[in-house]
Copies of this chain bind each other. A is one copy, B any other.
Amino acid sequence: MSRTVAVLRELGADWAVLTAPESLVYALGYAPAVETGPSPFAAGPALALVGRDGEAALILPATEVAGPRAGQVFRYDNYGLHHADLPRGAFEAEFQKLRGHMRPSGRFAIDGAAHSAWIDGLLPPGERIDLTAALRRQRMTKTDAEVAALTRCAELAAIGQTRMMAAARPGISELALFAAIREVMEREAGERLAVTGDLLSGRARTAGMTGWPGKRVLGQGDAIIADIAPRFGGYWGDSCATVVLGTPTEAQLRVFGAARNALDLAIAEIRPGMTAGAAHRLVRGCVQGAGFDYPHHTGHSIGTAVHEHPRLCDDETTVLRAGMVLMVEPGAYDPAIGGARTEWMLHVTETGCRPLAPFPLVAAVNSVE
C-alpha cells in the first residue's frame, strides 16, 4: 500500500477511491474474482449512446470481433504501433468523433453503477438521470426472442450438468470436473463461454453453499453441488444439481429430497399474480417442513445479467407476471450431513410456469471405479 500512499502524497490528495481490479491488487493485495477482470485491450467497458428517436452508436476496441445488431460502430486503436497512450488516449480521440457525429445534448440518462467519472467528463455538462430502476423494471419480463435465447442457455447448462453426472467419479478433482463441464458446453456453443457458479464436494464444502472449484479430490460417498451458469449470446443460463457418488446415506437422501421437493412445489405453484415474496416463503416453507433451511434467496430473475429482478426473497413485493424467467434454487444445508441445492429455469406462463430445458435431478450417480 505504501506506493499507493506515495501517489496520494504526490498528488496532494487525502484519499484514493480505487475500484479498478488492478489498482486493488496493487494497493491492497486483493485480487477480485476471475470473471470480473476487464479486457486488457479496452480503455474501459464498451460504451453506447442511444437517442430517444432511436439513433445509436457504440464505441469498441479495434480488436473486438463482436459487434452490435443495431447502431453505428466507432472503433478505437488498442493494439497499434504508434500511440503510447493506448487504449485510453485513442478512446478519447475516437469518442470525440462519435460526439461530433451524433451531437448528443439535453438530459442524459446514465447507467448508474457503471457510468464512470472519466466518461462523464467527455460528455456535455448538464443533468444526469440514473436509469437503473426504470431499466430494471423493463427487463423483468422477456420477449419471445429473449425466452428463446434463455432456452438455448438452459440447454447449454443441461449439457454441462449431464456431463457432470457422467464425469464425476472418485479420484477426480473439483477443478478437473469443472473443466470437463466447461469444455462440453464450449464445444456445443462453438466458442469460449463465461461460466460462473459453484462446484463443491464433500460434507463441509457442500454445507458451505458457495465456492469455486478447488484442488479437493472427490471420494466415494461424497455429495457434489454443481451450480453451473454459462453465458451465450449475451444471455445467461443457470442450473444446479446435487449428486452423491455411489449410494447415498439416508441423511443425504433427506437433504436432497428437501431441495428437490421444494423445486417440484415451485413448479406446481408459481403462477402470475403471486408476489415474489410469497413464492419465496412457499418454497422455503417446504424445505423448513422437511427439517432443513437455507440462508439465501429462493431465486432470481435471469436475462442479460445472471441475477436480475425480481429476486425471490422476503421483502420483494413485485407481482409475478407471464413472460418472466425465474431461477428457483431451494437448498438444504446441514453441517453434520452436507448440503444440496437444485435449480431449474422456470418460464412464467399465463397459467403457471414451465421449466426450460430441464436436466435429470437424480440423487446419486453410479461411481464404482
Contact = CB atoms under 8 A, between A and B. Distances in A.
A210 B30 contact: no
Interface of A: 1-54, 56, 58, 60, 63-71, 79-84, 86, 88, 104-120, 123, 128-132, 134-135, 138-139, 173, 175-176, 178-179, 182-183, 186-187, 190-194, 196, 210-215, 229, 231, 233-236, 276-277, 280, 284, 295-297, 303-307, 309-311, 313-318
B179 A106 contact: no
Most buried by B among A17, A45, A110: A17
Contacts of A81: 280, 284, 295-297, 313-314
Given A14-B51, A88-B113, 9 more contacts: A7-B135, A13-B52, A16-B108, A17-B49, A17-B123, A23-B111, A31-B234, A34-B193, A84-B316
Nearest to A41: B307
Contacts of A38: 36
A70 B8 CA distance: 17
Contacts of A314: 81-82
A119 B17 contact: yes
Contacts of A23: 48, 111, 114, 135, 304
